[in-house]
């Protein structure tokens, strides 16, 4: 059985009041820990605002965060738990996924 981890990215308020660099370091550290513990995959949500209500707090954009995590990890697979495909042009979404 392969098991993955959803890493924090701010959309549920876990980074409310944090500095951006500290929040990113935490997300990266959770990814490193997941990889070190042998998890098979790391997942992010493609949500556009925080929940349960929109705020101005930190929320890492999923495609950018996945690209950054790809540079920080070696073995784990990376992906989206949720992809808001209807909010973007289909060709743009395909291009973002392919790169």
Tens digits of per-residue pLDDT, 74-90?
999 999 999 988 889 99
Sheet architecture: strand order including 77-82: 4-6, 41-45, 77-82
- Residue 44's Cα: distance from chain center in Å? 3
Q: Is the peptide bond before 52 cis (omega within 30 degrees of 0)?
A: yes
pLDDT in tens, 19-72: 999 999 999 999 999 999 999 999 999 988 888 888 999 999 999 999 999 999
Q: How far apart are CA 24 and CA 28, in angstroms?
A: 6
Instruction: Tally the residues of the chain.
Output: 99
Instruction: Work out the angle between the directed axes of helices 62-72 and 20-36 (0-180°, nearest 10).
Output: 50
User: Which residues are paired to 45 by β-bridges?
Assistant: 82
**Predicted structure pTM score:** 0.90
């Amino acid at each position: 059985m392969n098991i993955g981890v959803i890493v924090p990215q701010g959309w549920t308020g876990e980074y409310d009041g944090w500095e951006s660099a500290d929040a990113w370091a935490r997300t990266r550290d959770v990814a490193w820990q997941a990889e070190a513990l042998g998890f098979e995959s790391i997942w992010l949500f493609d949500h556009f605002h925080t929940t349960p209500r929109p705020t101005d707090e930190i929320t890492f954009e999923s495609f950018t965060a996945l690209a950054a995590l790809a540079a920080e990890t070696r073995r784990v697979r990376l992906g989206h738990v949720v992809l808001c495909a209807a909010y973007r042009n289909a060709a743009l979404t395909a291009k973002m996924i392919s790169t």
